Amino acid sequence: MPREFQIQVAPEVAANEQLLTDFVARLMQVKSEEINHISIIKRSIDARQKSVKVNLKIAVYWNEEFTAIQRNLPEYKDVSDKQEVIIVGAGPAGLFAALQLIELGLKPILIERGKDVQERRRDLKAINRDHIVDEDSNYCYGEGGAGTYSDGKLYTRSKKRGDVDRILELFVAFGASEDILVEAHPHIGTNKLPKIIKSIREKIIEFGGKVLFDTRVTDIIVKNNEVQGVETQNGDIINAQKIILATGHSARDIFELLDRKKIVIEAKPFALGVRAEHPQTLIDSIQYSCDFRGEHLPPAPYSIVKQVNGRGMYSFCMCPGGVIAPCATSPGEVVTNGWSPSKRDQETANSGIVIELKLEDFKPFEKFGALAGMEFQKSIEQKAWHLAGETQRVPAQRMVDFTQSKVSQDIPKTSYVPGTTPVELGQVFPGFLTQILREGFTQFGKSMRGYMTNEAILHAPESRTSSPVRIPRDNYSLEHVQVKGLYPCGEGAGYAGGIISAAIDGEKCALKIGEALNKL
């Protein structure tokens, strides 16, 4: 059996196999050549001291042979002639639900309003270059969901929700780097994730599942409070007694459909704010306490949380070496998000800086009932679109100028390709949010010396942090509390907050369907 150690080493040692072997040999008081292999189990950066270190959990093969672990896919079954289950939405919840159904011997019919990962690129180019928003194909809609072109972060705090390692190992089996099994904050990268998503889709089809692109669900057919199937925009009817609803946090038309049909939904608090962009070198200098991070340290991330006027204000979806993207899903609105390529090699770092909202904040929109939060969200996105010039340009302001209520006249070019318009961001948000943001950035600057600077550009709004609606379901069966056979799932239903937790929730819903159909 290999011997396991927890060690802390300099970055250059962690990055060099021979230096690491020599270090471990001295630790074990053996010769370096007696060590056959060192497997890294977990890796994280410790930047709390002036001298940055790397924490490693390692397995040392000393005087014994090492055999690499093979990451294999489960033994999927041909389900082409088996009972069908509809999945609405081909994001991580939908894709992993489909894989789990195939394992159980059920046939998934995966319905996606957007396009496949390759075709999506044209529509992303159109929104970036031409300011054209396709309501069915954009950064939020399409194969792989919002995460496909929004970074591919795989870190989750949802350890109690399910088997995180299983999801990570499946990603590796479908082509992701084994590094995601090791890193404390695993990340695939927007440039690599599409190929992996395509491999998952091809596997679903290979074993008899069906995937329909450019197919928007316009009605859920319900009879005697039991689902019968769905209707698409072309008037086609697809029948099934089990439907997994995994449409993501931006599927407003689905929320409106459920509301019209008197299918119970609830308003849900979410978080909203801005996306802040700094030079990556500045964040490196703050986090690593050095002028130059060197070649062995990754671009530094940051995470910060403050309580301001009784509200949590915190960093969200922080993207080292990344860019800011336009994530509107309809004309007449602007929305921001961030992503990083796998190497995180862009010159800027960005992060959502958001404030937790409460149901009482939606009171001006109470006439919309369960859709009050969604209408609140929409109103801010539409106001930002109007203030920035009614294109996909976004309102922007230098950080210090924002805290002083000064319009920034000389905003430099940022990573946000459609461009920016100088706006006093207090015009975008309700007064209470503006006040919290201004006070919060001042507090951030005290905690991270150098963070509060006019080199940082704020882009508004960051508004799609999570779903503004929860679709309630039974805690045990995971079926909707009112409609039998309907399984609200993932981020859009309010039960996940990222790729991993959504994938886990997709598997959970599939397993519950298998249980109901006596497939377990």
φ and ψ at residue 104, rounded to 5 degrees: -85, -5
pLDDT at 160 over 60: no
Burial of 422 (0-12, 13-18, 19+ CB in 10 A): middle
Which residue, among 402, 508, 490, has the nearest Cα to 101 in the 3D structure? 508
Q: Is 144 helix (H, G, I), strand (E, B) or coil?
A: coil
Using CA atoms, how far apart are residues 166 and 151, in angstroms rounded to an integer? 21
Strand 3-9 relative to strand 305-308: parallel, antiparallel, unpaired?
unpaired
466: left (phi over 0), alpha (psi -120 to 50) or beta: beta
Using CA atoms, how far apart are residues 376 and 424, in angstroms rounded to an integer? 20
Mean predicted confidence (pLDDT) in 6-31: 96
Both structure tokens of 311: 């509200």
pLDDT at 520 over 80: no
Domains of the chain: 3-62 (3.30.70.2700), 84-266+469-517 (3.50.50.60), 269-462 (no CATH)
Q: How confident is the model at residue 329 (pLDDT cuts 50, 70, 90)?
A: very high
3-class SS string, 7-36? EEECHHHHCCHHHHHHHHHHHHCCCHHHEE
Residue with tokens 């069915």, as numbered in its chain: 136
Task: For the chain, give the number of residues.
Answer: 520
Mean predicted confidence (pLDDT) in 141-158: 77
pLDDT at 497 over 60: yes
3-class SS string, 62-79? ECCCCCCCCCCCCCCCCC
Per-residue model confidence (pLDDT) at position 191: 80
3-class SS string, 97-134? HHHHHHHHCCEEEEECCCCCHHHHHHHHHHHHHHCCCC
Per-residue model confidence (pLDDT) at position 156: 67
Q: Which residue has the higher pLDDT, 191 or 466?
A: 466
Query: What is this structure's pTM?
Result: 0.95
The upper half-sphere exposure of residue 54, i.e. CA atoms within 13 Å in the direction of its Cβ, equals 21
Using CA atoms, how far apart are residues 109 and 83, in angstroms rounded to an integer? 10
pLDDT at 483 over 60: yes
pLDDT at 189 over 80: no
Per-residue model confidence (pLDDT) at position 1: 84
Using CA atoms, how far apart are residues 250 and 287, in angstroms rounded to an integer? 34
Per-residue model confidence (pLDDT) at position 41: 95
Per-residue model confidence (pLDDT) at position 146: 86
Mean predicted confidence (pLDDT) in 398-427: 97
Distances (CA, A) of 87 to 41, 109, 469, 492: 35, 6, 19, 13
Per-residue model confidence (pLDDT) at position 159: 55
Residue with tokens 């082409």, as numbered in its chain: 80
Residue-wise pLDDT for 32-90, tens only, equals 999 999 999 999 999 888 889 999 999 999 988 888 888 889 999 999 999 999 999 99
Task: Give the chain's mean pLDDT.
Answer: 94
φ and ψ at residue 503, rounded to 5 degrees: -60, -45
Decide if 55 contacts 5 (C-beta within 8 A): no
Mean predicted confidence (pLDDT) in 107-128: 96
Using CA atoms, how far apart are residues 520 and 515, in angstroms rounded to an integer? 5
Which residue, among 514, 509, 504, has the nearest Cα to 170 in the 3D structure? 504
Per-residue model confidence (pLDDT) at position 326: 97
Beta bridge partners of 278: 349
Q: Is 275 helix (H, G, I), strand (E, B) or coil?
A: strand
pLDDT at 422 over 90: yes
115: left (phi over 0), alpha (psi -120 to 50) or beta: beta
Residue-wise pLDDT for 423-459, tens only, equals 999 999 999 999 999 999 999 999 999 999 999 999 9
* The amino acid at 359: L
Which residue, among 191, 207, 180, 195, has the nearest Cα to 73 in the 3D structure? 207
Strand 311-319 relative to strand 305-308: parallel, antiparallel, unpaired?
antiparallel
For the chain, the farthest-separated pair of C-alpha atoms sits apart, in whole angstroms, at: 75
Residue with tokens 């995994």, as numbered in its chain: 246
Count of other CB atoms within 10 angstroms of residue 426: 16
Beta bridge partners of 187: 153
φ and ψ at residue 219, rounded to 5 degrees: -155, 145
Count of other CB atoms within 10 angstroms of residue 469: 27
Residue with tokens 């150690």, as numbered in its chain: 5
